[in-house]
Amino acid sequence: MFDDLPADVLLTILSFLCLSDISTLFSTTKYLNNFISQNSFSIYRSIAIFQFGVPSQLSYPDSLRYPPFDFHDFSPRAISTHNYGYTTWPTLCARLNQIRHSWRGTHSSAITIHRNTGDGAVHRFKVDENAGFIVSTTKHGGVVATDLDGPYGAWTRRKPRVRPFAHCEYSHGYLIFDRLGTKEVWRLTDYRYYYPSDPPVSVVPESQPDDWQHASAEQAYVAPPPPPVGVSIRPRKGHFTPHALLHPPTRTRAFRFIYPYLLVASWNSAYIYDVRSGVVVQQLNNIQDPPPNLSNEPLGDLSYVEHSPQHVFICGELSVRVFTRSSGSSGGGGGQCVLSIPAVHDNYGRHRYTIQNARDNRSRDMNWVIGKVPDTTAQGQQHQEGDWEKVGSVLYRHHLVREHDRVRKFVDQIAAAHASPCGNYLALLLETSRLLLVRDLHRIIAGQTSLYENTIEVQLGTPSRFSKYLAFEYGRVGVATRNGIFIVIPPPNFFSSQLPLDEPPAVLRVHPLNDSFVLACVSCLQITPTGLYVNWSPHCPLARLPNAGEEGEGHGDGQQHHRRNIHALQEEVFWSGLETELSVGYQDNGYAFVQEE
């Protein structure tokens, strides 16, 4: 049958088949064997484009390894094919297929530790897999950039000017973090190596960096390691130079950076800066006022902010408000509030799911126990961190069941909100470990469809364990709660408004990271193409598996319980006592992240 098809038709058919089907066809007939062998470049290039989203303008896959990194979904780490040698279209497809299966728990994954995070407990961090470094802030003040692939320190910006519990944002070579009353903006020193097409920029006089930034830039430099043999030029990993110092008119609590715009919000106002020039391009006023013709639920204390090309999302404890970015200008009034989602609700969406037995069998669901790794020594010594690699996948996929309609309103609080790059999809995290996935946001705002019909609710374990952090990147949602570290993958129909939401999302949990006390100390989480990064205490015994039936809150003495709860509350202590002098000291924290092998 295939022998009679024109070559171009057969090539089109093969480009939509999965890799396992291609392998099967390869061994069926001599004609298909020869055809696939002779056209492997075209076949696998089409598979990479249609099935894995590789840009169609890419001619050779090995060019993904080198700057300019215009295709951020495919970092050098993501397309590394050291098991296959030189990157070809077949090996690239095999690698991307492996990553896809690792995210769903059907291929191997491992927990890896990155401890080189400076001299303080990690508060926030950002990972740049293209440039190969991690930049983090600490809970007592300071910013540190370190090599992602080795034990090298890259750059350090220490206190006192970097406040305790400083939030940081990073994108496109720009690093932004808190100084009391201002926002410091730094830029990669070798940004032209990574972004050669960026035009020159000039910062307005009122946003120029100050003397303190210039002085600390000289102190922060750490000499890079020598380049590998045969390499004459090597950029300075994670080394930054001062770019700007932004002065918001009021004291701010939350900010979010999506290149090139920085959204900064205070209690009743929000400002959008263009970080390239340091100019305020839009101002939102009176964000706490009840919006007309919408829910009159108060906004409350700010917990998060987000923005997309079309909208600004102000996330308060009591509601989420969506403002337009089309109206308002520098120094003028704010945009119009076009949507308000209150925290007090009965049923957010028609499609509601919960982890099976989450409420009926808390110990079984929230303290999942896997079989012990075989002892590697004759004496049966305690397992080492490297032994986790022998387990296989560290992701456990939960079974979801439908949730019944609630007959009374659900009292909750909003923890965080993240929008997709296009702004048409929204992830909301509630304090009670409940996740909302909203699609078709533009049509909801326009009144063409309802929030109820386009929302998926997922209860991630018992509601009594509060939420910690949310990330929504690369079509995946990462959630940290005291129930665990979760990866939620929306169903394929979620990304098409023309298809019904009749399939549940895939919910996976990083089951070795299940200590509820340490989970209470999680303060940051990030998803990249190859892994989920989260700050995790190195004192948590990753190599020790809990005994069957051991309660998540039942082990450890009371003093340890108290110490961990105090650790989790320190950021609120900082904000409530902002005018007093704080002296906070912690032991080092490290990163733990899930990555395919």
- Evaluate whether residue 244 is within a structural domain: yes
Q: Model-level pTM?
A: 0.82
Assess whether 150 and 187 both reside in one domain: yes
E strand or H helix at 46, and its extent?
Answer: helix 40-52
Instruction: Band the pLDDT of 585: cuts 50, 70, 90.
Output: very low
Assess whether 201 and 57 both reside in one domain: no
CA dist 410 and 398 (Å) reads 24
Buried b / exposed e over 121-136, threshold 16 CB at 10 Å, is: bbbbbbbbbbbbbbbb
Q: Final residue of a domain: which of 53, 70, 104?
A: 104
- Evaluate whether residue 51 is within a structural domain: yes
How does pLDDT run across 509-534, given as a tens digit for each residue? 998 888 888 888 899 999 988 889 99
pLDDT at 248: 94
Q: Poorest-confidence range of 288-297, 309-318, 449-458, 466-475?
A: 288-297
- CB atoms closer than 10 angstroms to residue 456: 24
Assess whether 411 and 324 both reside in one domain: yes
Assess whether 167 and 266 both reside in one domain: yes
CATH of the domain at 435: 2.130.10.10
**Tokens standing for residue 457:** 């609710």
Reduced to 3 states, what is the DSSP secondary structure of residue 38? helix
Half-sphere exposure of 492 (CA within 13 A, CB side): 1
Q: Which of 92-101, 216-225, 553-562 holds the top average pLDDT? A: 92-101
E strand or H helix at 89, and its extent?
Answer: helix 89-103
Assess whether 166 and 66 both reside in one domain: no
- Evaluate whether residue 581 is within a structural domain: no
CB 272 within 8 A of CB 261: yes
- Evaluate whether residue 301 is within a structural domain: yes
Instruction: Band the pLDDT of 566: cuts 50, 70, 90.
Output: very low
Displacement of CA 334 from its chain's centroid (Å): 29
Assess whether 287 and 325 both reside in one domain: yes
Instruction: Band the pLDDT of 508: cuts 50, 70, 90.
Output: very high
pLDDT at 588: 39
pLDDT at 330: 43
- Evaluate whether residue 375 is within a structural domain: no
Assess whether 481 and 527 both reside in one domain: yes
Q: How many structural domains comprise the chain?
A: 2
- Evaluate whether residue 113 is within a structural domain: no
Assess whether 534 and 408 both reside in one domain: yes
Query: For residue 564, which of 528, 520, 505 has the smallest C-alpha distance?
Result: 520
Q: Final residue of a domain: which of 506, 523, 541?
A: 541
**Tokens standing for residue 429:** 């995290």
487 is in which domain, residue-wise?
Answer: 122-222+235-351+402-541
CA dist 573 and 581 (Å) reads 12
Assess whether 77 and 135 both reside in one domain: no
How does pLDDT run across 179-208, given as a tens digit for each residue? 878 999 999 988 888 888 888 889 999 999
pLDDT at 441: 95
- Evaluate whether residue 31 is within a structural domain: yes
Q: How far is CA 132 from CA 129, 152, 198, 235, 238, in A?
A: 5, 11, 20, 11, 8
pLDDT at 157: 65
More confident residue, 112 or 586: 112
pLDDT at 593: 45
Decide if pLDDT at 436 tops 80. yes
Assess whether 93 and 208 both reside in one domain: no
Q: What is the mean pLDDT of residues 214-236?
A: 63
Assess whether 250 and 286 both reside in one domain: yes
Q: Final residue of a domain: which of 44, 73, 104?
A: 104
- Evaluate whether residue 191 is within a structural domain: yes
Assess whether 285 and 192 both reside in one domain: yes
How does pLDDT run across 159-184, given as a tens digit for each residue? 557 888 889 999 999 999 988 789 99
